[in-house]
Amino acid sequence: MSSMRGIDTPVRQIRRRVFKEVANLAYTSVNLKDDMEALPYKIVDYEESQYWESVYRDRAIIRERIRLAMGMALRPENREHPGHLTEGLEESNIDEKYYEPPLMQVIPSACNACPENRYEVTNTCMGCVAHPCREVCPAGAMTMQNGKSLIDQEKCIKCGKCRDICPYDAISHKERPCKKACGVNAIENDKHGRAVINNEACVSCGQCMVSCPFGAIADKSQIFQLIRAMQSGRMIVAQVAPSFVGQFGPKVTPEKFKSALKELGFAEVYETALGADLGCVAEAEHYVREVASGRQDFALTSCCPSWSVMAKNLFPETIDKISNELTPMVATARIIKQEHPEASVVFIGPCASKKLEASRRSVRSDVDFVITFEELLGMFEAKGILAEEMEDLDKMCDATAAGRGYGVAGGVAGAIEDCIREYYPGTAVHVEHAEGLGDCKKMLLLAKAGQKKGCLIEGMACPGGCIAGAGTNISLQTAAKEVARFKAEAVRRVPKQ
């Protein structure tokens, strides 16, 4: 599937503008209710609609975006009086508010009700004499009208044979982009044919959100609450995911980025790769002791929350195979809390599902806030901070190459494998990795069928790994190069045992 990632589309520009304005509210607003009510008119300040049939629809959609960006729920569409934009604001206007599921939400007024699965003849049909499309159709759905091919949608069985055989590539296959991107089949329809997310099936990876060309899917944000907490004078410490490099522009070195975060008000900045280092040493030991010895059939990594949740939901028999090690985010938060017991911790990363991992009740995460790179960009813009103009004050020089590689698909398993080779020479290591929830599902099916015995299996919900997370700013290719470069700069290759 072709990707819009890294392209500065109007959808991305709107999202960024909303994050910037919500951050601005948190920084400057004295009369929050009035300022929030005025915000849709500030953002949609034009006469003629730029995107839909009217400015009223533009504003209706912006209102719901603002609510989600404030950490609030969408207003119900089916009520006679949906309530004010600020309804529920008091509950959100606190400096520590956990995300309440559902995290991913479809804004109904923005959904285009795209066709789910449909083959159509385009105007490039040449009306050829052979018309092989008609000959290969097993359902007799292809007819000729005015010398051109036409598909009877009632008869069409969606096999795609007509498209494959057409010598002019004149038949197009239309699929709903959000549904195609969802690896767990969580996208359903409402009675109007608009997309709805089945929250029981959704694992909050956010791939639907970044694949919707109408920007109809959005997730909740905590930037407002985070800024208010920073303003309250509390000590806030940031930990940044390994995939941060390059996310804020080609001239922004890790050192400049660290300076920009300090300028924003963070007391200290840690690499989440520190927690990854701890994890890969422990997982290497676990693999040698349990899997290589034959006591356990296979082992699954636990860093990606969407992969872990999917494994637990669809393959409950694998629960005991999922690593019990703390994820890098949680392990790093524990290190921070040991060194700064009074501090609140914010995880800054590429990932939507980390927002729910931080909120879960089963394992105390020690993470107080989670924001994405995209949301952080809104904070920088609201404060007028240009990261590329920052001075390099102090280096990010904590983590090893192993931990820094976690942001790219294959990096987690690769780091564990490097540790095994370093500390348990002679141990045979079998590594597998799956990226994208569809492939992750296939991998778990093979493991369940006994075909992955002795394997260490890494699962990443996003194709490409964390660098393809829903909250990233740049293309996968650029991100992969930047992570590789930063990894190569690490002083040590693998962490100490």
The angle formed by the CA atoms of residues 282, 283 and 288, to the nearest 5 degrees, is: 100
| DSSP states along 130-152 | S-HHHHH-TT--EEEETTEEEE-
Quote the pLDDT of residue 497. 84
Residue 4 identity (one-letter amino acid): M
CA distance 478 to 264: 26
pTM for the whole structure: 0.92
Of 317, 280, 281, 313, the closest CA to residue 298 belongs to 317
pLDDT of residue 37: 95
Note down pLDDT in tens along the chain; length 497 residues.
Answer: 457 888 899 999 999 999 999 999 999 999 999 999 999 999 999 999 988 899 999 999 999 999 999 998 887 665 555 567 888 787 666 656 567 778 999 999 999 999 989 999 999 999 999 999 999 999 999 999 998 999 999 999 999 999 999 999 999 999 999 999 999 999 999 999 999 999 999 999 999 999 999 999 999 999 999 999 999 999 999 999 999 999 999 999 999 999 999 999 999 999 999 999 999 999 999 999 999 999 999 999 999 999 999 999 999 998 899 988 889 999 999 999 999 999 999 999 999 999 989 887 666 779 999 999 999 999 999 999 999 999 987 888 789 999 999 999 999 999 999 999 999 999 999 999 999 999 999 999 999 999 999 999 999 999 999 999 999 999 999 999 999 999 999 999 999 98
For residue 396, the model assigns a pLDDT of 82
> What's the pLDDT at 359?
82
Give the pLDDT score at 81. 52
Q: Which two tokens stand for residue 156?
A: 């069409």
* Token pair for 339: 């060194």
Cα-flanking dihedrals φ and ψ of residue 488, to 5°? -65, -20
Pairing between β-strand 236-240 and β-strand 344-349 as defined by DSSP bridges: parallel
Compute φ and ψ for 229, nearest 5 degrees. Answer: -65, -40
Number of neighbours of residue 3 by Cβ within 10 angstroms: 15
> Which has the closest alpha carbon to 95: 241, 268, 222?
222
What pLDDT score was predicted for residue 83? 67
With the C-alpha atoms ordered 363, 369, 374, 375, is the resulting torsion angle positive or negative?
positive
Strand partners, 143: 150
Query: Which pLDDT score is estimated for 50?
Result: 86
Neighbours of 64 (CB within 10 A): 25
pLDDT at 1: 46
- Identify whether 102 is preceded by a cis peptide bond (ω within 30 of 0): yes
- φ/ψ bin of 83: left (φ > 0), alpha (ψ from -120 to 50), beta (otherwise): left
